[in-house]
Amino acid sequence: MTTYKNFSVETDADGIALVTWDMPDRSMNVFTEEVMDELDKITDQVTADDKVKGVVVTSGKDSFSGGADLTMLQRMLKLFNEENARDHDAAIKMLFEGAGRMSWLFRKIETCGKPWVSAINGTCMGGAFELSLACHGRVAADGDKVKMGLPEVKVGLFPGAGGTQRVPRLADPQSALQMLTTGSSLSPKKAKGMNLIHEIVEPARLVDAAKDMIKGGLKPVQPWDEKGFRLPGGPVYSAAGANLWPPAIAILRRETQNNYPAAAAILKCVYEGLLVPVDTALRIEQRYFTEILQTTEAAMMIRSLFISLQELNKGARRPDGVEPTKFKKIGVLGAGFMGAGIAYVTAKAGIPVVLLDRDMPSAEKGRDHSAGLMDGLIKKGRASAEDKEKLLSLITPTDDYGQLDGCDLVVEAVFEDSEIKKGVTEKSEAVLKPSATFASNTSTIPITGLAKNSKRPKNFIGIHFFSPVDRMMLVEIILGKKTGDKALAVAIDYVRAIKKTPIVVNDTRGFYVNRCVLRYMSEAYQMLIEGVPAPMIENAAKMAGMPVGPLALTDETAIDLAQKIMKQTIRDLGEKAVDQEQFALINTMVDKHGRHGRKNGKGFYDYPAKPAKKHLWPGLKELYPQKAPEDVDVEVLKQRFLVTIALEAARVMGEGIVTDPREADVGSILAFGFAPYTGGALSYIDGMGTAEFVKLAKALQKKYGAQFKAPKLLLDMAAKGESFYERFDPYAGKVKEAA
């Protein structure tokens, strides 16, 4: 047996070398420079050893591997930028060679003359699946936790270690393109159906089955290296190719609006690569990968959607020195849509939950919500009847506050009314142990004010969920003026326990996310008033990268809620706090036309009975004189949406409401889908350059109004040439003061 730091190699009596990947300092195997160096040496070792007849590669962990360590790519890009400042050609050469390192290592394995089999025992993603595809045989264990895929496109990259060439040489081209451009993961059954793996076996038999493939005479030659190899979907230049490629390009444009360079590069790699032999194809892939690595989109998406997201999920903002909480029981006050959703995600995490409402029928109706969600999962084959029973057994519906005794945390999700919230806080605290944390799920009322109802404000915190709770991955944790470290630690522990991403926000009206969302909607109202046709507003927002148009989003949250928020803002801050023309538009919609949004079947859209689809209300054209479409610049509409949200995110940072740019970026993407290709609201500014962004904001302010006025912080940063990640360095000892 030969032992490396990250691998062990053991050759059995049949001459089969078992290579077990088990990194000592990681919970999951990932490709690093060291791992590639070792795998290279192992390849040489087994190739040179006449006793070795074949190789099985597997993992010593419960997952196979998560793929490449993206911090390695970040280091490579940092070196590239430093070298690029000195010698552009040398920098490109260095990046090209670095980009191809993994690809040519896998090609070496594939052409070494001895059969390799990948024994996939768990999650096998990205570079690890590309390694498996370079093996001559692939066996996967049967089980729900076994997933394979090439998800790189989700972080602004693409499978650059042979994935764009091997997948379409194994699977039919349509399925291959769909898998590569969406980054979707595959179950063993789906992977076998696509011809990407050869066998599915019981987990206990995995390594034996892999060895059996070699004993059975597995050829150490890939299909595409055999003479006379034919592509599964036929040649690119064929009738089948003519039916595939034009629609594929059109679908990509429809789905990405040309905002994702990596997705377009996948199509180019596959199209061009399938016209040439595989070695030339891998070189083409390497060139595109080198190009994509240099894009702003890749840098920003890797940072926000991989590194920052992981750091926040691991509790980057959790205070030091506070013992982790193991939750024995959690209380949820209010069994309406939000409360029922919170109870469901809590029980799904295996935590007993008391769901309290004013009477038993209301509380039981809240538990029925969980039953309905589980029925949906059962129907899709993602849960069993036993899973449903187990989850429901963890939810105790009640109308008795006494049942809250023993709860570590209570989450209040009652009606948005300060008096009602005051009553439930007092009744709960009468029962709760002194150390328990009390959290409010309010979306509009400042936490510091609500904490005045508590006898222990240091244990009082905001935990703001988004609707629908079961699907939305972000949770805002709001600190009141007196909230203590223990309450913050408990809140972060809870959000992590239910497998959501926490961001920490200081107290303000609308917190962080809603302030940004309201700007997005407000800009759409402004466009309607200017006479921009409603379809152009919705389409421009989607073209800018937003998942839902602002008018559709207003309908989902309710137009009458927008009216209530405006009225409350006027009561609290005076008439100047709300744009009077926009207020008039919302009042017209609600009071004159009775259009409240999706909930009453009519808002900015009409909602006919299924199967008919929703469509924009024709009456919108009558509200304001309409501009001719050719007189509206779609590029400017796109800029207005992104810039107004980014400015609000900058204001929030300047006010010290959010103090960590990672949270502003990740929060903007997870909560309302801020154009993911930008890396988030602050990365949009950083990616453009602060001075360039301020120049754009000033041009928009001149033409469209004060909502585009850059705050003092941004002007100061532009003058100094600073980015948000320099000014508010999340890794520094402490965050520098905002101007």
pLDDT tens track for 693-725 = 999 999 999 999 999 999 999 999 999 999 999
Over residues 616-633, mean pLDDT: 96
The predicted structure's pLDDT at residue 720: 97
Over residues 689-696, mean pLDDT: 98
pLDDT tops 70 at residue 326? yes
pLDDT tops 90 at residue 442? no
Minimal CA–CA distance to 646: which of 690, 688, 684? Answer: 684
The predicted structure's pLDDT at residue 733: 62
Confidence of residue 298 (pLDDT cuts 50, 70, 90): very high
2-294, superfamily in CATH? 2-enoyl-CoA Hydratase; Chain A, domain 1 (3.90.226.10)
Identify which has the larger pLDDT, 564 or 694.
694
Q: Name beta bridge partners: 8.
A: 3, 20
Q: What dotted CATH number matches 514-727?
A: 1.10.1040.50
Sign of the torsion formed by the C-alpha atoms of 610, 613, 614 and 620: negative
Cis peptide before 468 (omega within 30 of 0): yes
* H-run or E-run covering 513: helix 513-530
SS3 for 523?
helix
Tell me which of 71-75, 167-171, 228-232, 356-360 is least confident. Answer: 71-75
pLDDT tops 50 at residue 736? no
Confidence of residue 458 (pLDDT cuts 50, 70, 90): very high
Over residues 542-569, mean pLDDT: 92
What is the model's pTM? 0.92
Burial class (CB in 10 A: 0-12, 13-18, 19+), 379: exposed
Alpha helices for 194-295 (secondary structure H): 206-215, 239-256, 261-273, 278-293
Count of beta carbons in the 10 Å neighbourhood of residue 346: 29
CATH architecture designation of domain 330-509: 3-Layer(aba) Sandwich (3.40)
DSSP assignments along 526-547, one per residue: HHHHHT--HHHHHHHHHHTT-S
pLDDT tens, residue by residue, 186-198: 999 999 999 999 9
Confidence of residue 467 (pLDDT cuts 50, 70, 90): confident
Burial class (CB in 10 A: 0-12, 13-18, 19+), 184: middle
Residues of 55-79 as b/e, b for ≥16 C-beta within 10 angstroms? bbbbbebebbbbbbbbebbeebbee
pLDDT tops 70 at residue 533? yes
DSSP assignments along 85-101, one per residue: HH-HHHHHHHHHHHHHH
Cis peptide before 246 (omega within 30 of 0): no
- Cβ(441)–Cβ(338) below 8 Å: yes
SS3 for 551?
helix
The predicted structure's pLDDT at residue 737: 38
- Cβ(355)–Cβ(368) below 8 Å: no
Active site residue 88: no
The predicted structure's pLDDT at residue 123: 96
pLDDT tens, residue by residue, 198-248: 999 999 999 999 999 999 999 999 999 999 999 998 999 999 999 999 999
Domains 2-294 and 514-727 share a fold: no
Which position among 136, 198, 464, 596 bears the catalytic label?
Answer: 464
The predicted structure's pLDDT at residue 739: 33
SS3 for 585?
helix
Which residues lie below 8 Å from residue 505, measured CB to CB, with a gap of 6+?
462, 476, 477, 478, 479, 511, 512, 657, 658, 663
CA angle 133, 126, 668 (to 5 degrees): 155
φ, ψ of residue 455 to 5 degrees: the values are -80, -15
Question: What percentage of the chain has pLDDT greater than the value 90?
Answer: 88
Q: Which two tokens stand for residue 634?
A: 């779609």
Q: Where are the domains of the chain?
A: 2-294, 330-509, 514-727
- Cβ(476)–Cβ(462) below 8 Å: yes
The predicted structure's pLDDT at residue 255: 92
Q: Name beta bridge partners: 335.
A: none
Confidence of residue 70 (pLDDT cuts 50, 70, 90): confident
pLDDT tops 70 at residue 459? yes
Strands 16-21 and 7-11: antiparallel
CA distance 736 to 323: 28
Over residues 424-428, mean pLDDT: 92
pLDDT tens, residue by residue, 535-550: 999 999 999 999 999 9
